[in-house]
Amino acid sequence: MVLGERLGDKSDSRFCGVETEFQEDMPQLLSFNLSSSAAFDFVVAPVMDPTYRPSLMVNDRNRSGVLPVAGSDLVLSPAQWSSHVVGKLSSWIDLDSEDKILRLDSEITLKQEIAWASHLSLQACLLPTPRGASCANYARCVNQILQGLNNMQLWLRIPLEKTDDDAMDGTHDDLNGGQTDSWELWNSFRLLCEHHSQLFIALDVLSSLPSANSLGRWFGEPVRAAIIHTNSFLTNARGHPCLSKRHQKLLTAFFNHSIQMVLSGKPVHSLPKGSLELGSNDADGIQRHPLRSYLDYVGYLYQRMDPLPEQERFELGYRDFLQSPLQPLMDNLEAQTYETFEKDTMKYIQYQRAVCKALLDRVPDEKASIVTTVLMVVGAGRGPLVRASLQAAEETGRKLKVYAVEKNPNAVVTLHSLVKLEGWENIVTIVSCDMRQWDAPEKADILVSELLGSFGDNELSPECLDGAQRFLKQDGISIPSSYTSFIQPVTTSKLYNDVKLHKDLVHFETAYVVKLHNVARLAPCKPVFTFTHPNYSTEKSNQRYKKLQFETLSDTGSAMVHGFAGYFDATLYKDVHLGIEPSTATPNMFSWFAIFFPLRTPVCIQPGSTLEVHFWRCCGATKVWYEWCVTSPTPSPIHNSNGRSYWVGL
């Protein structure tokens, strides 16, 4: 039974598992934990008897050499093994032990257990937590296995703990003497395994939690499961298990990031009189699962979440999916692309507001009936800005003459049909031409364009509008009037591994458009490049350079920077804004996702340290490109030197 139904959510976070002890009778184990009275979706179960030691087998000549596994592969169907069982490796395994025999036993057993789990076609195996700060041999053995692993995931068990002054919920569950940030443990292991894409995390959620900033790091890491221990639960007024407000908030965030829940431990709550006792039989005589009340509470937390908004449901398929940015000058957009952008109602509402304000400023009420404002839509596409401008004229009672300038001959066909359909022949003049080459018959009062990209200037709005500025009156208005790009450092293991899969330099030096989801934003955004229109500066160059410094909060702990998320904010006219920078983003707008600048080698930043970043916007005769690098805490190569991998064609 899934935790519940939530409109639009089809992610794995709907499912909840239970951690079990070793049992030879696997059908019975599944029947007890997955029955209607228990209602778990899967078990995290040992695949081999935990008393087994290879060294004992060698010394015992009476042994047959058959591994003491939890039932043969025939006791369950392949579909049951694959869908309902996550293999749990023996917890005694210690590959970095000083004891040579234990170390060798651990290495043999690790490989045997994963080989058996792979034979069963399990989707995942839970690896035991590394013991101590040094885990080099453990990571070496796991990395060897990962090189030959097919589709199975390995989940490394990591306690969710950062044991310093930031813990706020009571006593610590100590890890390694109470001094280790468990993220450091994970980071060390993951680096030794070269960020392998099949290595994931199962977080042990304990009774105490680190600070919100420390927790935030994990949402950019490859967390597949959260193991909730029964001793983390409190007791509510009715005697039932519940969680603290901070734990509730954390679980809700896990649900939103497609992280599955696993309940673990023995029941620690005695239900009040009148309630069905834990482990007792219900009205039908079926034994009630000892952890059912805990599962019911987790299901309650899931079901009380708000349904996904329509925009989020629309964007589900784009989450953490890398797309190459548009090349609007080099390429002609297709009808489907135009249609997607035209559905963004909020964008055109903002443009209409901006044109309304510009018309009111341009033409006083007493001249509204006699003055005709010349408005040029440069890059008219299939006409949504033409429509918004004419609606603004109708709303303000101003007279308008519109030139719709568009270089795409296919879109021009649609424009002619639109003008004829709407009866705009006497108002709208269609110009099939590149705005930079058009010789306008008159000058414009207002210049309107939607040439903005996810990074503001990355679709060459500055170059296009500079070229079109010659037919704007000296006191004319440009909509937009200015725009600024922003960046922030992010942890995004998923995107980093997706880029790494290409195994080349080019993809690490390319900027991608992406709907960021499984990401940790490590510091607030900072502005990068600003462009203003019309631009009457004597310095006409659109080249830019910016050095930026980011500081993480000291209670965050160490974190991994996989790259930079980029956004923009535009002033259309006066107080009418449009943008995707998170702190000021225009609500309910989906025309732009963020842009992502990857780093070839991720950079680890320490608590309270400064991350120094450099960004360049470079201009050549036929292309514009970005270069970027990190100089502190450790220097990176300069990415995309001379636009060798990624550029925007003029």
Asked whether residue 434 is marked as a ligand-binding residue, the answer is yes
| Ramachandran assignment for 70, one of left (phi > 0), alpha (psi -120 to 50 degrees), beta (any other) | beta
Give yes or no: 342 in active site: no
Helices 384-396 and 409-422, interaxial angle, to 10°?
30
CB of 485 closer than 8 Å to CB of 456: yes
Distances (CA, A) of 515 to 16, 36, 454, 497, 638: 27, 38, 11, 16, 25
Q: What whole-number distance in Å separates Cα of residue 60 and Cα of residue 56?
A: 6
Nearest Cα to Cα of residue 297 among 373, 228, 357? 228
Q: 391-431, pLDDT tens digit by residue?
A: 999 999 999 999 999 999 999 999 999 999 999 999 999 99
Q: Is the pLDDT of residue 278 over 60?
A: no
Q: What whole-number distance in Å separates Cα of residue 159 and Cα of residue 182?
A: 6
Q: pLDDT class for 457, splitting at 50, 70, 90?
A: very high
Q: What whole-number distance in Å separates Cα of residue 37 and Cα of residue 57?
A: 40
At 175 the pLDDT is 41
Q: 15-43, pLDDT tens digit by residue?
A: 999 999 999 999 999 999 998 777 899 99
Q: pLDDT class for 255, splitting at 50, 70, 90?
A: very high
User: Mean of the pLDDT values across residues 162-170?
Assistant: 52
Return the SS3 of 238.
coil
Nearest Cα to Cα of residue 456 among 484, 491, 477, 437? 484
At 308 the pLDDT is 86
DSSP class of residue 369 equals: T
User: Mean of the pLDDT values across residues 273-277?
Assistant: 44
Question: 546 pairs with which residues across the strands?
Answer: 615
Q: Is the pLDDT of residue 153 over 70?
A: yes
Asked whether residue 338 is marked as a ligand-binding residue, the answer is yes
Asked whether residue 435 is marked as a ligand-binding residue, the answer is yes
Phi/psi for 512 (5° steps) reads: -120, 145
Give yes or no: 459 in active site: yes
Mean pLDDT score of the chain, rounded to an integer?
91
Q: Taking every pair of C-alpha atoms in the chain, what is the biggest distance, in angstroms?
A: 107
Residues 19, 221, 450, 581: which is the catalytic one? Answer: 450
User: Mean of the pLDDT values across residues 550-568?
Assistant: 94
| Contacts of 358 by beta carbon, 8 Å cutoff, 6+ apart | 446, 477, 479, 573
The residue type of 414 is T
What domains appear along the chain, each with residue ranges and CATH number?
12-306 (3.20.20.150), 335-450 (3.40.50.150), 482-649 (2.70.160.11)
Asked whether residue 347 is marked as a ligand-binding residue, the answer is yes
Residues 459, 463, 509, 581: which is the catalytic one? Answer: 459
Strands 444-448 and 472-479, how do they pair? parallel
Q: 354-365, pLDDT tens digit by residue?
A: 999 999 999 999
Q: Is the pLDDT of residue 163 over 80?
A: no
Instruction: Tell me the pTM.
Output: 0.91
Q: 322-379, pLDDT tens digit by residue?
A: 998 878 778 888 999 899 889 999 999 999 999 999 999 999 999 999 999 999 999 9
DSSP class of residue 431 equals: E
At 283 the pLDDT is 46
Strands 428-432 and 399-406, how do they pair? parallel
* Chain centroid offset of residue 129 CA: 26
At 66 the pLDDT is 85
Q: Outline where 397-468 has alpha helix (H).
A: 409-422, 461-468
Q: Is the pLDDT of residue 279 over 70?
A: no
Q: Is the pLDDT of residue 4 over 90?
A: no
Q: pLDDT class for 277, splitting at 50, 70, 90?
A: very low
